[in-house]
Structure 1
Amino acid sequence: MTRITTPFDATSTAADVVAGLDLSGRHALVTGGAAGIGLETARALAGAGSAVTLAVRDTGAGRTAARYIAESTGNDRVQVRELDLADLRSVRALVARWDEPLHVLVNNAGIMASPEAYTAQGWELQLATNHLGHFALALGLHDALAAADDARVVAVSSSGHGNAPVDFDDLFFDRRPYDAGIAYGQSKTANVLFAVEAHRRWAGDGITTNALMPGGVWTGLQQHWDAATLEATKAQVPATDASGMGVKTPEQGAATSVLLATWPGLRGMGGRYFEDCHEAEVVDQVRDGLHGVCGYALDPEAAERLWAVSTSLVTDAD
């Protein structure tokens, strides 16, 4: 299978990707759209004419973001809905209120390297937030996506998937010591496996699903890092170049998400993992901490198994 390349690279911004596209008549939902990469993803989509819904935990921050998007793009079709991905009641409430076709779902929100914590269902918080909540959301919105023309589902993963495959024998660290980095890696691998299986199941419904690594971007995602280490790292790492080595701005970090959500050349081409606006190379180990996708994240058998496990978990949960 030939790897997909595009005219863009690691220095491209989300606005560059949508330049010349007319998204009027389309509607996108972006989780975590109040800040960082999610905000810039939503702003680029709105700038190209799409209606945008920001699905966020903090609706006050969401309303501030919506005003900024409307003022900076001239598009006032921006709304806010409350969504806590770690609370299935919140996910189900959003799904129950959605009553129109959905053209783009960007599963962007996430947490990283958080202290050990569990949801009301006993699910480890990073897997619950980064994968299971988004899985339940996508599953619930399937019919809305199928009702749209050329619907896109975008799963924001990370090179952190290289930290760990999904441990089907101990998803929630019941039998092994909790490790924040391993938990994050497992959740990001799950994002890619979701894209693989969702595309296999839903491509016939006109839904294209892909996963991506946005690149290194300084956002609130690093809130659990040691403060001194974070500041020292920020001082040492240069801005990105075309090869993707270095730190991106949020606008550059949003480019690959927006590419998967909008680029006409990707219609019907799914189940893949992208970085720096190109499909990534399959590797045994992630290179330089940023590049390549591990084969286990694309394994169709693991993807099918994760779908079955996830379906059982979100269906049976109170």
Structure 2
Amino acid sequence: MAARTFGADSTALDVVDRLDLTGKSAIVTGASSGIGVETARALASAGASVTLAVRDTAAGERTAADLRASTGNLDIRVAEVDLADLVSVRAFAEHWSGPLHFLINNAGIMHAPETRSVAGWEMHMAVNHLGHFALATQLLPALTEAHTARIVSVSSSGHASSGIRFDDMFFQRGTYDAGLAYGQSKTANVLFAVEAAKRWATYGITAAAVMPGGIWTNLQRYWDPAVLADMKRRYPTKTTAQGAATSVYVATRAHLEPGGPAYFEDCHPARVVGQITDGIHGVLPHALDPATAQHLWDVSAELVSAELARAHYTL
């Protein structure tokens, strides 16, 4: 039988068609809205046990009820996690038991006004990268227990706007720029996947980042309405079900290996480009650089350890 192919029009349910994930467990962060819901729906429909890791548990419970009804899978639960608060992240990880086969780092914020986390970190970097970094590292025993775990980090073509600002990562000296803050955090998502795939290969863990495509959800709530309307006219649009397809594809079907493709779009590896000319397709070299990935990992580990120590925890 020929291998199945998927593309920009594929939905998350298309990707899991004929797959049996019974006995597999998944965590999807930010799973109470947007593509997180459809990612969870697809994994649950294939039989996986799915945990919706959300900040708003009431919204999470409404989503869980919908997913149980639409998939017939009753093994869907809701757990609270605030990625901007590492004590919350640590508590979530401490309550997890058993192997973890799929960790979908889906939650995120975009172009938000300047705000800071409990640790004083700029909020895009705190939520989009450092919170997920802490979650993954603290769930390492569960990922290792699965033997063939996969980590999916939801990035964006927005990574093109900024590399990692190691000299002022949290905009403590320079003028705050929401676009740069978001771009830096999306670059960090890719670099995390690059380093995790290398560092954790011996544990059977693979990782990659994804660009969902142009999906208009609550994520763009901070955008100027005129800019948002113009973007909707100029760029191709996906449904949330189509936007979730690449996350589910990377979690369940993509060939992943250390040094292999680390950034996927439209259910296939993206081309490395010098610039993203259409606003959507391609990945820039700065997001794939292994030396930068290693350095960011080391900086992130130090920041997370220091914050947990401050909160009377140890990593």
Which stretch of structure 1 is more off in the superposition, 253-262 or 271-280? Answer: 271-280
Q: Contact 1:6/1:278 (CA < 8 Å) preserved in 2?
A: no
Which stretch of structure 1 is more off in the superposition, 279-288 or 105-114? Answer: 279-288
Q: Give, in angstroms, the shift of residue 271 of structure 1.
A: 5.8
Q: Deviations over 1:193-226 (max 9, x none)?
A: 0000000001110001000100000111001012
- Partner in structure 1 of residue 279 of structure 2: 289
**In 1, Cα distance between the equivalents of 2:300 and 2:261?**
18
**In 1, Cα distance between the equivalents of 2:130 and 2:103?**
15
Alignment of 1:292-303 (within 5 A): 292-303=282-293
Q: Which has the higher contact order (CA 8 A, sep 6+)?
A: 1
SS at match of 2:73: coil
Q: Contact 1:104/1:152 (CA < 8 Å) preserved in 2?
A: yes
Residue 316 of structure 1 aligns to which amino acid in structure 2? A
CA RMSD of aligned residues (A): 1.4
Q: Contact 1:14/1:40 (CA < 8 Å) preserved in 2?
A: yes
- Partner in structure 2 of residue 19 of structure 1: 17
Identity %: 58
- Partner in structure 1 of residue 255 of structure 2: 266
**In 1, Cα distance between the equivalents of 2:256 and 2:52?**
24
- Partner in structure 2 of residue 34 of structure 1: 32
Alignment of 1:1-318 (within 5 A): 7-234=5-232, 236-237=233-234, 246-263=236-253, 265-268=254-257, 272-317=262-307, 318=310
Q: Which blocks of at least 5 consecutive residues in structure 1 are unaligned?
A: 238-244
Q: Contact 1:191/1:211 (CA < 8 Å) preserved in 2?
A: yes
**In 1, Cα distance between the equivalents of 2:80 and 2:245?**
25
Q: TM-score, normalised by structure 2?
A: 0.94
Q: What is the aligned residue count?
A: 305
Residue 178 of structure 2 aligns to which amino acid in structure 1? A
Divergent runs of 4+, >6 A: none
Q: TM-score, normalised by structure 1?
A: 0.93
Q: Deviations over 1:149-187 (max 9, x none)?
A: 311000000000000000111101122110000000000
**In 2, Cα distance between the equivalents of 1:7 and 1:293?**
21
Q: Which blocks of at least 5 consecutive residues in structure 2 are unaligned?
A: 311-315
**In 1, Cα distance between the equivalents of 2:23 and 2:149?**
13
Q: Deviations over 1:256-293 (max 9, x none)?
A: 00001111x52546561001111011111122110110
